[in-house]
Chain A
């Protein structure tokens, strides 16, 4: 049983290390192409872009989101904004209505039908060549749109460009853990961009050519992860997705474990179910690295987290069992003390070193992501928070997502 367990551990860690090495090699191949623009840039032309803001009970953040769009460094006459209230029950509509009279702003209200229905209503009212969406809990950097549009300008085959999502003023430990994770995501998304294998076009400010929706159809419900499904659909149809590492979007990350759990449950559930829906893409070379690398890597990360958790849980239960057994034999007062540390009893097995390599590669990916997004490296405690919190909590949302998938129960949006 132990050797079987170790064999699984070896296989999963091998695959997990493989994924990290793959990213690192991709980085070395392409690092000269990674640009980090600090100031403003000029484009040879400024195509008109529509930004759709779907809202459901966003009274707290909506005003700031809209203001950030107005502050974009982009010709105002080339920017159209569609604000859509998806049946909010708070003051979202009142706030939205205050922008009704502004040129190029369209305000719409509909019955609640889910985010994808609100964006689709916006798409129906879009007449521009480019369109994007901005979640009403996120804010864009003034230069973000121009930096994204530069990718479309330099490559006509680019059909969508995703931004770098940064955690907005992380305060709590949970948010700081997510900051480290989002930094890592900037690196991973950029590498996936080089591989032509991005699997999600995030709701906050991914800009598309309108042709994508004209050709492939509107957003779908897609298990509450419509931004993932459209990326899967684009990959299926060989539509190129890029990532702009210096186009920043600031998002309000969940502050509490409960909110983080619900968000990630939805994401993992979405990943699992979209993968099931698009399972025919896996290991088909005509779909490129998306098929051979991205989806398998996602599945490996789910399995590895699950296995690691079960192993840690087993070790913890085993430790408690031994202690209880000892107490039953010798009593609490006679328990052996473990104050003496001896190198001899340190675990120096192969798995320890492999795990150390794996953690080093993950830390390196966080550092590289931070460098790409912020242009500097700060070794903060956020990384430590990430490892502690995500190691403990992530397996629970993964287990719940798998359970929900098995019983076909769709998680709530919030």
Chain B
């Protein structure tokens, strides 16, 4: 009867299994680093956008309204927001990710100021909102608000959401909170300089931003003229 136990074999198998786990950890780390690298390359692109945005801001006085690019920011900005949110949940709030998030928030503020100037000078109706949120555990309605804003962004390509983590340790965000007197009953939207605390539905946002409908009509007109 084979009842002699080969303890060495039990140990070797343990070591092999452990090394397989370490390999899995290494591979995971490798791909995580690649993802952080991708975020950083987007960050570099955005830093150029900041500069461009600032230049445009300075030139604003000399430009005619028709030359103003309403979409000053990189088209990758919204995808960067999604990727940062995904990374925070799945990779963890590492210093790299938090750093990117701060950088992204600053860019948003910069762009927001520019858009405000354009609105005032050129009389363009604003199609943007400021959105203050917190993580889903402390703010369950923020998840719902996120769905509504994502759907609006998909429906109206011109619609811009400047989203800010209410609890992010960034003086510029704290200044925004102070300027608009944002309460801590999140989510909170700022539409046309007016604060709307609590969940605001898609329909309510659409009513408050009648210019949104126009963006679709204008797009349709443009498409037709190109076709003709």
Is chain B found bound to chain A in the same assembly?
yes
B151 contact set on A, CB distance < 8 A: 329-330, 334-336
B35–A25 CB distance below 8 A: no
Binding site for B on A (CB under 8 A): 14, 17-18, 21-22, 25, 29, 157, 194-197, 238-240, 285-290, 292, 325-326, 329-330, 334-336, 344-345, 347-354, 357
Q: Which of B15-23, B44-52, B162-170 lies at the interface?
A: B15-23
Contact A329–B148 (Cβ < 8 Å): yes
What residues of chain B lie closer than 8 Å to A351, measured between beta carbons?
24
A356–B6 alpha-carbon span in the complex (Å): 28
Contact across chains for B35 and A18 when beta carbons are under 8 A apart? no
- Which residues in A have their C-beta under 8 angstroms from that of B23? 353, 357
One of B13, B20, B150 near A357 (C-beta < 8 A): B20
* A194→B202 CA distance, assembly (Å): 67
Q: Evaluate contact between B144 and A240: CB separation under 8 angstroms.
A: no
Please tell me which one of the listed residues B13, B31, B144 contacts residue A348 in the complex, with CB atoms under 8 A apart.
Answer: B31
Q: A135 to nearest B CB, angstroms?
A: 27
* Chain B, residue nearest A348 (CB): B31
| B143 within 8 A of partner (CB) | yes
Once bound together, how far apart are the Cα atoms of A14 and B22, in whole Å? 11
Q: How many pairs of residues, A versus B, come closer than 8 Å at their CB atoms?
A: 100
* B contacts with A, residue count (CB < 8 A): 36
Query: A286 — which chain B residues lie within 8 A by C-beta?
Result: 3
Provide the residues of chain A in CB contact with B148, threshold 8 Å.
Answer: 329-330
Give A218 to B32 CA distance when docked, in angstroms. Answer: 60
Q: Which residues of A contact B10 (CB under 8 A)?
A: 22, 292
Check if A353 sits within 8 Å of B90, measured CB to CB: no
Q: A348-B31, A349-B90, A357-B24 are in contact. Are A196 and B13 (CB under 8 A)?
A: no
Which of A14, A21, A292 has the largest count of B CB atoms less than 10 A from its CB?
A21
Query: In the complex, what residues of A have CB within 8 A of residue B175's CB?
Result: none
Docked complex Cα distance between A240 and B2 (Å): 7
A14–B25 CA distance with the chains assembled, in angstroms = 13
CB distance from B58 to the nearest CB of A (A): 34
- With a cutoff of 8 Å between Cβ atoms, the chain B residues found around residue A348 in the complex are 27-28, 31-32, 35
**Chain B residues positioned under 8 Å from A239 (CB to CB):** 1
Question: Within the assembled complex, what's the spacing in Å between the Cα atoms of A157 and B2?
Answer: 10
B169 shortest CB reach to chain A, Å: 24
Which residue from B1, B21, B147, B201 sits with its C-beta under 8 Å from A196?
Answer: B1
Identify which of residues 151-166 in chain B touch chain A, using a CB-to-CB cut-off of 8 Å: 151, 154-155
Chain A CB count within 10 A is highest, among B1, B9, B147, B151, for: B1
